[in-house]
Structure 1
Amino acid sequence: MSVLLGGFDIGGTKCAAVLGSAADGKVEITAKHSFPTPATPEETIAKFSEAMGELLKAADAASPLKAIGISCGGPLDSRRGLVLSPPNLPGWDRIDVVTPLRERFGVPVALQNDANACALAEWRWGAGRGVSSMVFLTFGTGMGAGLILDGRLYAGISDMAGEAGHMRLEEDGPVGYGKAGSFEGFCSGGGIARLGRTLAEAHIRQGGTTAICTNLEGLEGITAKAVFDAANGGDALALETVGIVGRKLGRGLALLVDLLNPERIVIGSIYARQEALLRPLVMEELAREALPLSLEACEIVPSKLGEHVGDAASLSVALHALE
């Protein structure tokens, strides 16, 4: 029997209200309404309530709404339903997002950070189905991890478990999570762009050319996509940049493999789109760095939900609330 779930994805620039139906290990997104993130948290919650009410009315579903899940960047307090001043949400200081929605819709409401929410979604409906222990890595704008350990979401005592991006892989390197040489510094959209700019500038000043960027004036326009597009086209400097990224990704994964001994690591966003380039580099580094028995037991796979993982994420939090 299907369960009707509501979801609320809160982002720094846009939000989405999602309605979906979950049954037999699958989820179907039945309706969605996106809107720019309002100026205040109070306006945002009111806008979501309005949007969810309209989606429910238009759906005229046979079964009632059972729960609402909220996915939001951290830090947060999932137990008390509080958003705790995320860097991309100024003004969201200890904001209770759970109580107003529970009172408005009369159903269980739960909050999780976006990496945990994505981990739940991939575990229930995506590339993590059927395993008891898995790690989900966002590998998008930032690098965060969601942990499913022994069949349960593990968030840590302060909801801070899985902040893999903060781990330092080198003494120096691109800055990510406020730390030079961090996992996020090397393995995130912003980090890859910064690494590409650094290498391209040195290369161009030495008289070289690269498809990443044709001149010094274009350095600030370099993005992770530009680096990978150039690498896929065979550009030598882009391939050097991707080589660094792939090896650092492998080194970060080796730490997770050795520490957690998971059955599967699911990697989203950039890895899912660029697996052909990254996987050989990652597996070579893993073979060099990880414990053989742990590595043998662990699969490294791309996200199965792909670009839809964000929509499914908040719905997975709703289903988690019911359980």
Structure 2
Amino acid sequence: MSETIYFIGIDIGGTKCTVSISTLKLKIIHRIQFATHTEKGPEYAIKEILNSIDEIKTKIDFDRVKIIGISCGGPLNSKSGIVLSPPNLPGWDNIQIVKIIQDHTKKPTYIQNDANACALAEWRYGAGVGTKNMIFLTFGTGLGAGLILNGKLYTGSNDNAGEVGHIRLDKDGPVGFNKSGSFEGFCSGSGIARLAQIKAEEKLSNGEEVSYCDSFDELQSINTLQLSKLANQGDKDALEVFNASAKRLGQGLSILIDVLNPERIVIGSVYARNPHLFDALSNEVIVKESIPASRSVCSIVPAQLGDSVGDIASLSVAIDEYLNQLDAKQSNE
């Protein structure tokens, strides 16, 4: 009987970090979570990560750990293993996180940005299971993509593949990815809030009432969670905002369908919690804008892994690397 092998996943977020250990079949044996405390600098979180790994060493035979995977917000360089000043991790400037982990554990360690890691997770264990060509869209605070092409994660020449939020959909509109009218500006949590602010300001200036904003002083407090609750209750003003975002989502998805010809597009966060607020209008646009032959083979679905996606994403980085190495070895034999 073969011995059980293990994988460690490290999910580094702006609010919290987790360190998990699982089997090859993704049975999680132990999980540790702690606050990132970005105000304390990267040294604090890194020390907690190493302490968590040391705790895990007491739970299993550490010799059976094959690979460690890290999921972290970008920008980063997955080949050199360096984190490059992510906006949600102030102070994490040119942090050689892979070297730090490898030196401490003596285990091979790999890193991917969170969009790529989540793409791997949804592809292997969630809404993308069974596909060969899949796009994962974050649709959270920002809009990024992870690309699975021909059964492999595609990261591009220098890790910049999948930055679909930078696509300009209109010359004017909410700013996302430092570009007005961008895909991220219209289709992200922060973008929807900005879109609502723009619409509220216009109406208030014309003397009209707005259900989600009583005065100019409240403009900056508008948030997407509040808007989604109102929209789900049938509020006209909130639905107007989501309808505008839905049409832009259809426009952006049509571009991805035409360019990459995926079998499935998996969308997380804001969309995954409220697909009914987007589907009808976005599908109308997709029918008008995309190539019929490409559209006919592509399904658009909400992400399935929910709140556990961070843990599974980091573990997926490790497991995917192990399986790729196994495939390469078998191909050479």
| The two structures share one fold, judged by TM-score above 0.5 | yes
- The alignment covers a number of residue pairs equal to 320
What's the counterpart of residue 45 of structure 1? 46
**95-104 or 127-136, which deviates more:** 95-104
In the alignment, the residues of structure 2 paired with residue 118 and residue 27 of structure 1 have an alpha-carbon distance, to the nearest angstrom, of: 18
Q: Is structure 2 residue 203 aligned with structure 1 residue 203?
A: yes
Change in CA separation of 1:298 and 1:14 when aligned onto 2, cut-off 3 Å: same
Is this contact kept in 2: 1:166–1:179, CA < 8 A?
yes
Letter in 1 for 2:175: V
Shift of 1:63: 7.9
Amino acid at match of 1:141: T
Q: Which amino acid aligns with 1:47?
A: E
CA contact (8 A) 2:7 2:65 kept: yes
1:33 counterpart SS class: strand
Q: Which runs of 4+ in 1 moved over 4 A?
A: none
SS of residue matched to 2:136: strand
How is 1:125-144 mapped onto 2 (pairs within 5 angstroms)?
125-144=125-144
Match of 1:259 in 2: 259
CA distance 1:73–1:250, shift in 2 (3 Å): same
Deviations, residues 98-122 of structure 1 (Å, cap 9, x unaligned): 1121122222210101100000000
Counterpart of 2:285, as a letter, is: E
- 1:91 aligned residue: 91
Aligned equivalents of 1:54 and 1:134: distance in 2?
Answer: 36
Deviates more, 1:202-211 or 1:110-119: 202-211
More displaced 10-residue stretch of structure 1: 60-69 or 1-10: 60-69
Whichever residue aligns with residue 211 of structure 1, its letter is S
Amino acid at match of 1:93: D
**TM-score under structure 2 length normalisation:** 0.91
Aligned counterparts of 1:20 and 1:204: Cα–Cα separation in 2: 53
Letter of the aligned partner of 1:40 in structure 2? Answer: G
SS in 1 for 2:300: strand
User: Which of 10, 15, 20 is 1:8 aligned to?
Assistant: 10
- Please say if residues 166 and 176 of structure 1, whose CA atoms lie closer than 8 Å, have aligned partners that are also in contact: yes
Give the aligned partner of residue 239 of structure 2.
239
Aligned to 2:163: 163
Alignment deviations for residues 111-150 of structure 1 (CA, whole Å, 9 cap, x no partner): 1011000000001111111111100000001000000000
The correspondence of residues 207-286 of structure 1 with structure 2, limited to 5 A, is 207-286=207-286
- Structure 1: runs of 5+ lacking an equivalent: none
Native 8 Å contact 1:11 1:72 kept in 2 = yes
CA distance in 2, matches of 1:238, 1:222: 11
Alpha-carbon deviation of 1:3? 4.0
* Superposed CA offset, 1:225-277 (max 9, x none): 11111111222121111111001011111110000001110000111100111
How far apart in 1 are the matches of 2:27 and 2:260?
Answer: 28
Task: Identify the range of structure 1 (207-216 vs 47-56) with the bigger mean alpha-carbon deviation.
Answer: 207-216
Structure 1 residues 182-217: Cα deviation after superposition (integer angstroms, max 9, x where no partner)? 001001111110111111122233333333223332
Q: 1:303 Cα deviation (Å)?
A: 0.3
Aligned partner of 2:327 in structure 1 is none
Q: Name the aligned partner's letter for residue 51 of structure 1.
A: S
* Aligned residue in 2 for 1:17: 19
Task: Assess if the C-alpha contact under 8 Å between 1:121 and 1:316 holds in 2.
Answer: yes
Q: Which runs of 5+ in 2 are unaligned?
A: 325-333
SS of equivalent residue, structure 2 residue 278: helix
User: 8 Å contact 1:27–1:312 — kept in the other structure?
Assistant: no
Q: Which moved more, 1:242-251 or 1:104-113?
A: 104-113
Q: Secondary structure at the match of 1:129?
A: coil
Query: Is the contact made by 2:9 and 2:68 (CA closer than 8 Å) also made in structure 1?
Result: yes
**d(CA) in 2 for partners of 1:275 and 1:116?**
22
Counterpart CA distance in 2 for 1:62 and 1:74 is 29
The residue type paired with residue 250 of structure 1 is G
The aligned counterpart of 1:115 is 115
Q: Tell me the TM-score normalized by structure 1.
A: 0.93
Query: Offset at 1:287?
Result: 0.5
- What CA deviation, in whole Å up to 9, does each residue of 1:136-166 have, x standing for no partner? 0000010000000001100001100000001
1:19–1:32 CA contact under 8 A, matched in 2: no
Q: CA deviation at 1:218?
A: 1.9
Identity rate, percent: 48
Whole-angstrom CA distance in 1 between matches of 2:240 and 2:51: 49
Deviates more, 1:33-42 or 1:217-226: 33-42
Aligned 8 A contact 1:81 1:96 in 2: yes
SS at match of 2:127: coil
For 1:60-115, what per-residue CA distance to the aligned partner results, in whole angstroms no more than 9, with x for missing partners?
A: 46983222111111111111111122223233232211112112222221010110
Alignment partner, residue 187 of structure 1: 187
